[in-house]
């Protein structure tokens, strides 16, 4: 193991608590009479959905600028915003120009995962509030660094885009689990079955299109030739940039698998799965994946499949808490409480019931972020929440990549296995190392 990695493992918990960067001089709250100037970095997909939620708060926000390395996407989004808001935002291909703009008070980071940590830390250092998409970080090291960076700038707010944290029915479901209605819960399942009909073909590397700033897109990731299978939406299937379905959906679903059980870090993680559906070289992360997380009181199982569309309980996604008296299944559509039968009672332990969702939570998540900026309200998904679930997801992927059961030592903030510890940090492009905090 490299000496710097050894030092990180030894000191990560201490370093997170002992950061000594001077806090920003900016006030935490914008004046109620002023709109919050917002900029979006990464405009193609979820980032633009986030921005639209911000702009629904039209009395509170104004889109100052947007930034993307794909000039076609950038122009399309600028035109859409001009049509809907009556004002064309500034456009940039280099996010540092956004951070230099004094009219921007808050930035939305909607880029591929490998950029999240770098941009979030630099944005805080530039005095900006941050709404960062999930997964918050792309490695265990990044998650610790991002928590430390936010603590170094206590007047600035960071909301992680885990918007289920602003969706009421998920918390109702957790309360039922914790009420004892289900009896003792020793098994928790979380899953996503994507239902893709057609596997990705293997594509050769090529030159990047002229309308893409590919070097900026790579950023902290290792230098590689351009390939459309690694670009735009498909970045999530490559270890350099993301963590597959585990970090795409896992951070949402495992979050409440953990929340419902009041669970912390597991003692061990056992992997399963592989690439069975796609052509060799088409993707790098598994298209079928399992991860078994061991806890003193229960087992938590993650399962993902890119091809099948029907999962447990005939749900494409969800979390199931399996108790001795019944099971609760919760999805984005609501939850169901399913009674088991008692041989002594000659019937179910309780009456079945269900609850539909109260809304997806995205607009409420943005409202909460803006209220935190203006009024100092508590965030629904602060960096500590984002770090916990991102680290849990990384553990599942690390177990898969080393191909064995791995054991976590919470006190040392390290694995017992050397090969797993080697994946706590990323292999950065030297030009874009993780900023110091």
Report which secondary-structure segment, H or E, holds 421: helix 418-421
Spatial CB neighbours of 342, under 8 Å, sequence gap ≥ 6:
325, 348, 349
Q: What is the pLDDT of residue 435?
A: 92
- Listed residue (56, 26, 222) closest to 123, CA to CA: 26
Strand order in the sheet with 90-92: 90-92, 61-67, 36-41, 106-109, 129-132, 158-160
Distance CA 329, CA 190 (A): 10
* CATH 3.40.50.720 intervals, the chain: 3-165+362-382
- Is 141 in contact with 147 (CB distance < 8 Å)? no
Backbone CA torsion sign across 45, 47, 53, 59: negative
- The whole-number pLDDT of residue 30 equals 56
The CA angle 124-380-189, to the nearest 5 degrees, is 115
Can you read off the two tokens belonging to residue 331?
A: 């999805």
Residues 6+ apart with CB under 8 A from 392: 250, 254, 258, 265, 266, 293
User: 316-336 burial by CB neighbour count: b if 16+ within 10 A, else e?
Assistant: bbbbbbbbebbbbbbbbbbbb
For helices 46-55 and 362-375, give the axis angle rounded to 10 degrees: 60
**Residues 237, 150: Cα–Cα separation, whole Å:** 29
Residues 237 and 215: beta-carbon distance below 8 Å: no
The 3 state secondary structure assigned to 288-302 is EEEEEEECCCCEEEE
CA atoms of 28 and 24, how far apart (whole Å): 9
Contact 117, 145 (CB under 8 A): yes
Hey, what are 168's tokens?
A: 């009421």
Can you give the pLDDT at residue 1? 42
Q: How far is CA 406 from each of CA 102, 234, 261, 267, rounded to the nearest angstrom?
A: 47, 28, 22, 9
Query: Which residues, 6 or more positions from 75, have their beta carbon under 8 angstroms from its beta carbon?
Result: 91
**What's the pLDDT at 32?**
55
- Give Cα 193 distance to the centre of its chain: 18
User: What 3-state DSSP class applies to 93?
Assistant: coil
Rounded to whole angstroms, the Cα distance separating 54 from 61 reads 7
Query: In which residue ranges of the chain is pLDDT below 70?
Result: 1-33
The answer to whether the beta carbons of residues 221 and 429 sit under 8 Å apart is yes
Residue 5 neighbours by CB distance under 10 Å: 17
**Residues carrying CATH 3.30.360.10, the chain:** 168-356
Q: Which of 242, 309, 304, 247 is nearest to 273 (CA)?
A: 304
- Provide φ and ψ at 11, rounded to 5°: -115, 5
| Strand partners of residue 353 | 337
Contacts of 381 (CB under 8 A, 6+ apart): 159, 160, 161, 162, 163, 165, 166, 365
Question: Does domain 3-165+362-382 sit in CATH 3.40.50.720?
Answer: yes
b/e code 11-27 from CB counts within 10 Å (16+ = b): ebeebbeebeeeebeee
Q: What is the DSSP string of 150-214?
A: HHH-TTS-EEES-GGGG-HHHHHHHHHHHHTTT--EEEEEEEEE---SSPPPP---BPPPTTB-H
Q: What angle do CA 306, 310, 311 make, to 5 degrees?
A: 85
pTM of the model: 0.92
C-alpha span between 392 and 382 (Å, rounded): 16
> What pLDDT score does 33 carry?
55
Relative orientation angle of helices 46-55 and 71-85, to the nearest 10 degrees: 20
> What is the fold, at CATH topology level, of the domain defined by 168-356?
Dihydrodipicolinate Reductase; domain 2 (3.30.360)
């Amino acid at each position: 193991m490299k000496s710097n990695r050894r030092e990180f493992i030894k000191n990560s918990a201490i370093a997170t608590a002992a950061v000594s960067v001077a806090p920003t001089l900016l006030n935490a709250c914008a004046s109620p009479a002023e709109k919050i100037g917002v900029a979006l970095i990464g405009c193609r997909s979820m980032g633009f959905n986030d921005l639209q939620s911000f702009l629904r708060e039209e009395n509170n926000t104004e889109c100052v600028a947007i930034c993307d390395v794909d000039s076609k996407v950038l122009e399309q989004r600028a035109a859409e915003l001009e049509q809907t808001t009556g004002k064309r935002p500034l456009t940039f291909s280099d996010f540092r120009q956004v951070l230099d703009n004094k009219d921007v008070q808050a930035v939305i980071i909607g880029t591929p995962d490998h950029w999240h940590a770098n941009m979030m830390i630099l944005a805080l250092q530039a005095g900006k509030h941050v709404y960062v998409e999930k997964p918050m970080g792309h490695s265990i090291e990044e998650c610790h660094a991002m928590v430390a960076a936010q603590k170094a700038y206590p007047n600035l707010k960071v909301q992680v885009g885990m918007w289920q944290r602003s969706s009421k029915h998920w918390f109702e479901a957790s309360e039922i689990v914790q009420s004892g209605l289900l009896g003792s819960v020793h098994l928790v399942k979380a899953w996503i079955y994507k239902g893709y009909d057609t596997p990705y073909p293997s594509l050769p590397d090529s030159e990047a299109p002229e309308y893409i700033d590919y070097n900026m897109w790579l950023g902290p990731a290792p230098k590689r030739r351009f390939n459309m299978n690694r670009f735009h939406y498909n970045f999530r299937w490559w270890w350099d940039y993301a963590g597959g379905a585990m970090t795409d959906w896992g951070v949402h679903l495992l979050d409440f698998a953990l929340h419902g059980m009041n669970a912390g870090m597991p003692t061990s993680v056992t992997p399963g799965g592989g690439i069975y559906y796609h052509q060799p070289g088409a993707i790098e992360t598994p298209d079928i994946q399992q991860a078994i997380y061991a806890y003193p009181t229960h087992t938590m199982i993650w399962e993902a499949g890119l091809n099948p569309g029907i999962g447990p309980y005939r749900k494409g996604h969800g979390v199931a808490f399996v108790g001795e008296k019944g099971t609760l299944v919760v999805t984005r559509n609501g939850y169901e409480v399913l009674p088991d039968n008692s041989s002594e009672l000659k019937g179910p332990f309780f009456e079945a019931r269900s609850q539909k969702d109260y809304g997806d939570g995205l607009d409420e998540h943005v409202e909460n972020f803006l209220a935190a900026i203006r009024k100092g309200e508590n965030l629904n998904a602060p960096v500590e929440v984002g770090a916990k679930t991102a680290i849990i997801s990384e553990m599942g992927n690390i177990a898969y990549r080393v191909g064995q059961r791995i054991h976590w030592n919470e006190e040392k903030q390290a694995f017992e296995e050397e090969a797993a510890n080697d994946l706590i940090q990323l292999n950065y492009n030297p030009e874009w190392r993780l900023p110091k905090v």
